[in-house]
Chains A and B, each alone.
Chain A
Amino acid sequence: MPVEIVMKRAGSTLLVRMAGELDHHAVSGLRDKIDSKITLDNLKNVIFNFGGVDFMDSSGLGMVLGRYKLVSAQGGKVLACSLRPRVQRVFDLSGLQAKIPVFLSEQEALKNV
């Protein structure tokens, strides 16, 4: 299943809800969409909701890390939520949580922006 995303604005935060398989091919199409939304709407933070993601490899980590570089340069944050065990396994191995805090739900992530 290719990746599908829904982007929503919550104040100065961009919510990115993703479903499907997050690999290099899928990520190539997402990066520009997300970055142009951040730039055009002048958004500060990004929350990645992985709730519907049933496969992710290191390309997904790279995408999150890339957005972190983009928004942290402007004082913004990147958060992640709703990781399924498979996605969590890839996250845990990367140590990315030092930069990208992970929450159980989108609500909880929004509270911590």
Chain B
Amino acid sequence: MDNHMKLEIPSKSQNEAFARVVVAAFAAQADPTIDEISDLKTAVSEAVTNAVIHGYENGFGTIIVTAVLKDRRLEVSVTDYGVGIADLEQAREPLYTSKPELDRSGMGFTIMENFMDEFSLASEPGKGTTVTMVKIFSQIKTGRDA
């Protein structure tokens, strides 16, 4: 089963819930488990929240979410054209946040890395950031295991 989708949204915090629900609904055609869908929703929420808070620093911008489904493999990308990240290693450290004054936990990338099967981060200061994540859904159980 091959399919793809693309979603373009302004960087409003209301769209965090919208984006994660859209990607979850798209993934539903692969019949994932409830836990797999929950992991996916959480990871997408983290990526879109990062774009809103860090990419555009709570200002206006466009966020693009794409998803490609090939058999049981879902690749999701979240792109912003905001400020970018100067130090990718530091950004990925658990508990590191550039905005502690906003009560950020610094766990966003750690959650994305742990809840998804693959994770990569590409960013250029002044140009923007793309997070790409892959979730491989378990095989559909058939027969007596169903």
Contacts and interface: CB of A to CB of B under 8 A. Distances in A.
Contact of A57 (B13, B49, B52, B102): B49
Contacts of B129: none
Interface stretch (B108-116, B119-127, B138-146): B108-116
Given A55-B42, A57-B46, A86-B38, A24 B111 contact: no
Nearest to B99: A62
Interface residues of A, number: 22
B135 interface: no
B24 to A, nearest CB: 10
Nearest to A54: B38
Interface string B38-62: 1001100110010011000000000
B42 A90 contact: yes
Interface of B: 13-14, 16-17, 38, 41-42, 45-46, 49, 52-53, 95, 102-108, 110-111, 114
Interface of A: 21, 23-25, 27-28, 31, 55-59, 61-63, 65-66, 86, 90, 93-94, 96
Q: Which 5 pairs show the lowest CB-CB distances between chains A and B?
A: A66-B103, A25-B13, A61-B105, A62-B105, A58-B107
